[in-house]
């Protein structure tokens, strides 16, 4: 037995409370153990003379997933008292057995610690308020991401100077404008409803000088080139009438250099009332121009990604905290938005996000909070900060395994299993799964123009735990390399291949909705049939869905049993 490979952490994604049960997991070296059992009970029962000691009744654990190096074991247990003491019984291939508890490993014939409650792993009490909350509307949502400047031009009278004609075949520059606006989105809500979309995620809408709006000037004002605050309210109302939720993009890591706060710092230097709102190393604030003036390391203040146009906020400052929380509160209270997507969320301190989380749930108990984090995110997903994150590592495995074939199917299965085991089940239900976005190359380009492969990849995606999201135009096969090429104007007149792809994706979304209860909360396993064929199995006690994906022929079947 490889003792060093046996891993468990209480009060984490490996031991947590959900839906009135305790979920217990154990991680062991792949194929090292023949079986694992759990001994568990109320710790106070050990001092009762009227009860059999719970350690006399081990319960077998299920091996639920494997990655390249580990097996993952799991068992759900229920206790009326909601106080849990537990330990593991490990049996290796030679039938040697050991106890594993909070004090380490012990031969099973060494029972001195079995009657000592303090030797066990403990979850002191299962408070429902501490469990990860899954708002009833969120897990079943199919999201659609809109880059507002490129979706539809519904009102040419608000176009910026120099707006180009709407051409989906263009290769946009970083500074190009095409006139997309809120009215254009409203005009096409029926199209999105027909597709099956139930959630709209908008890239930033607030006043800013760029086409992408991540360099905010005023968070309380819709950019006039998009429309007005009143028109945004009408958009939210129209979306809600169609059963769609609305998520805005909060750029709380930084402000644009044209913001009044930063302009005050430029004018007044260290005497500015906003001097402490930012991370400034020396006054006056300066940066050295280069051949690419948008990016320069020679700056005297901290920024987003060395971009001097985006000045990093000091979220440890109580005034900054109050300002940002007032923004978040305003759009919830005044316009009834349902969710925030938090830009560059990993570069903002945890204390602020905890305050943000509490404020949003006080306003709206079923609010959804999505963090933009591209890496392992456990520290933000313990129920006190974010509901979920943009699940780029998970999507990246699908792209590398299904689209690019840079991973074997065994590696894909192992990688997806490893990612799922990083988080609680409830958290996996709330992850935002997208195969392309405004920050990546488009799916069709990654698939080298293969429409069948794109459809297969989206079918694979809709079977995964978490919420599927489409980037605008993915449903009709729009192509584009990395930013800014992935931000082309929406093609509202797709060819026959694009229209057919949209019809197939519409069917897949309908399938997701039809079997939403199973596809959001059911268990999952991956079965590699051969080097070109993998099955995704979603199941519960009553039903199972088998997705059979053949990458040799780029075909798939979805079967419900």
Catalytic residues: 343, 372
Q: Which residues contact 272 (CB under 8 A, 6 or more apart)?
A: 264, 265
The C-alpha atoms of residue 74 and residue 88 are separated, in whole angstroms, by: 11
Q: How would you class 348 by CB atoms within 10 Å of its CB: exposed for 0-12, middle for 13-18, buried for 19 or more?
A: buried
Nearest to residue 117, comparing CAs of 60, 53, 57, 74? 53
Report residue 455 as tokens: 């459809």
3-state helix, strand, coil in the chain (%, to 5): 30, 25, 40
* Residue pair 213/205 in contact by the 8 Å Cβ criterion: yes
* Residue pair 460/554 in contact by the 8 Å Cβ criterion: no
The C-alpha atoms of residue 471 and residue 474 are separated, in whole angstroms, by: 6
* Residue pair 36/89 in contact by the 8 Å Cβ criterion: yes
Q: What distance lies between CA 400 and its chain's CA centroid? A: 19
Nearest to residue 141, comparing CAs of 516, 523, 545? 516
The C-alpha atoms of residue 490 and residue 472 are separated, in whole angstroms, by: 7
The C-alpha atoms of residue 47 and residue 348 are separated, in whole angstroms, by: 47
Residue keyed to tokens 């449903």: 475
Residue 438 CB neighbours (<10 A): 18
- End-to-end C-alpha distance for the chain, whole angstroms: 38
* Residue pair 120/103 in contact by the 8 Å Cβ criterion: no
Does the CA dihedral 434-440-441-446 come out positive or negative? Answer: negative
Cite the beta strand spans of 223-301 per DSSP E. 245-250, 254-256
The C-alpha atoms of residue 502 and residue 43 are separated, in whole angstroms, by: 56
Collapse the DSSP code of 169 into the 3-class scheme (helix H, G, I; strand E, B; otherwise coil) and give the result: coil
Query: For strand 544-550 and strand 21-29, is the pairing parallel, antiparallel, or unpaired?
Result: unpaired
* Residue pair 281/221 in contact by the 8 Å Cβ criterion: no
Residue keyed to tokens 């709006």: 213
Angle at 426 between CA 245 and CA 82, to 5 degrees: 130
Q: Which residues contact 34 (CB under 8 A, 6 or more apart)?
A: 91, 92, 93, 95
Report residue 145 as tokens: 């991401």
The C-alpha atoms of residue 256 and residue 208 are separated, in whole angstroms, by: 7
496-514 and 451-462 helices, crossing angle to 10°: 10
């Amino acid at each position: 037995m490889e003792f060093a490979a046996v891993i468990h952490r209480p009060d984490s994604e490996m031991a947590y409370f959900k839906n009135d049960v305790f979920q217990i997991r154990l991680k062991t070296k792949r194929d090292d153990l023949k079986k694992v059992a759990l001994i568990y009970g109320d710790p106070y029962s050990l001092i009762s003379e009227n009860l059999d000691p719970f350690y006399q009744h081990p319960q077998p654990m299920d091996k639920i997933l494997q990655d390249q190096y580990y097996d993952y074991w799991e068992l759900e247990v229920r206790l009326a008292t909601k106080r849990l003491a537990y330990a593991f019984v490990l049996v290796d291939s030679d039938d040697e057995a050991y106890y594993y508890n909070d004090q380490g490993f012990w031969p099973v014939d060494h029972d001195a610690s079995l009657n000592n409650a303090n030797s066990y792993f403990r979850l002191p009490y299962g408070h429902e308020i501490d469990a990860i909350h899954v708002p009833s509307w969120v897990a079943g949502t199919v999201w659609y991401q809109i880059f507002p400047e490129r979706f539809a031009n519904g009102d040419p009278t608000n176009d910026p100077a120099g707006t180009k004609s709407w051409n989906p075949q263009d290769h946009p520059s970083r500074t190009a404008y095409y006139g997309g606006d809120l009215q254009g989105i409203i005009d096409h809500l029926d199209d999105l409803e027909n597709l099956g979309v139930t959630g709209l995620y908008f890239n930033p809408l607030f006043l800013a000088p760029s086409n992408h709006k991540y360099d905010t000037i005023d968070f309380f004002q819709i950019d006039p080139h998009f429309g007005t605050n009143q028109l945004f309210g009408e958009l939210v109302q129209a979306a809600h009438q169609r059963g769609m939720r609305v998520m805005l993009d909060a750029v709380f890591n930084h402000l644009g250099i044209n913001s009044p706060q930063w302009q005050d710092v430029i004018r007044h230097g260290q005497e500015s009332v906003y001097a402490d709102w930012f991370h400034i190393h020396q006054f006056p604030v300066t940066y050295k121009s280069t051949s690419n003036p948008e990016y320069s390391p020679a700056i005297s203040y901290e920024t987003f990604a060395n971009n001097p146009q985006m000045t990093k906020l000091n979220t440890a400052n109580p005034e900054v905290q109050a300002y940002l929380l007032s923004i978040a509160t305003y759009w919830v209270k005044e316009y009834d938005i349902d969710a925030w997507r938090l830009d560059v969320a990993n570069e903002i301190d945890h204390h602020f996000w905890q305050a943000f989380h509490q404020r949003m749930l006080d306003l709206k108990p079923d609010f959804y909070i999505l963090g933009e984090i591209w890496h392992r995110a456990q520290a933000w997903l313990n129920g006190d900060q974010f509901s979920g994150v943009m699940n780029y590592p998970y999507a990246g495995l699908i792209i590398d395994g299904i689209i690019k074939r840079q991973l074997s199917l065994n590696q894909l299965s192992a990688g997806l299993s490893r990612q799922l085991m990083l988080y609680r089940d409830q958290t996996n239900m709330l992850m935002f799964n997208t195969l392309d976005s405004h920050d990546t190359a488009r799916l069709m380009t990654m698939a080298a123009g293969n429409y069948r492969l794109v459809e297969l990849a989206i079918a694979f995606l809709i079977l995964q735990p978490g919420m599927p999201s489409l980037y605008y135009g993915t449903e009709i096969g729009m192509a584009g390399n990395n930013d800014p090429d992935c931000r082309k104007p929406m093609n509202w007149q797709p060819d026959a291949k694009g229209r057919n792809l949209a019809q197939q994706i519409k069917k897949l979304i309908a399938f997701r909705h039809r079997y939403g209860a199973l596809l959001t909360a059911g268990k999952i396993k991956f079965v590699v049939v051969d080097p070109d064929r993998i099955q995704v199995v979603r199941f519960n006690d009553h039903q199972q869905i088998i997705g059979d994906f053949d990458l040799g022929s780029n075909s798939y079947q979805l079967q419900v049993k």
